[in-house]
Amino acid sequence: MNQREVRLTNLNKIINQAGSAIEVARKVETPATYISQLKSKCSRNGKLRTLGDKMATRIEIAFNKPVGWMSVDHSDSERALKEIAHIVHSATLDGDLSPKISNLLVPHLNNLGCCHEWYK
């Protein structure tokens, strides 16, 4: 993936985390139409919209991400976290993991967006 694709993927992750593009816009203090244009990759006049460095940094700050997070492909780390979440879930169901440890791990995994429907 090139940087434009990585940033778009990460923007979509942020939108999912926030619940909507409108919420992202509110937190970043920019018009919701701008976030929608970034997501759809074009503006009203049909020109290609890209997420620049300044907006990437504003999003990172608003969502407590490290500087540069928007420009990094996180797919490998996300796969690893999902696998860890699956292992925690399986070990909890099998009784191989104490409820105390499970209760400590699961909320952190959930905050990272990698827990399944089994954790509410």
Domain locations in the chain?
3-71, 75-111
pLDDT digits (tens, 9 = 90+) for 34-82: 998 888 876 667 677 788 999 999 999 999 998 899 998 887 777 777 7
- 98 contacts 106 by C-beta, under 8 angstroms: no
| SS3 state at 18 | helix
- Name the residue type at position 107: P
pTM tops 0.75, yes or no: no
pLDDT at 112: 64
Average pLDDT, the chain: 82
- Which CATH number applies to 3-71: 1.10.8, 1.10.287, 3.30.460, 1.10.260? 1.10.260
pLDDT at 84: 74
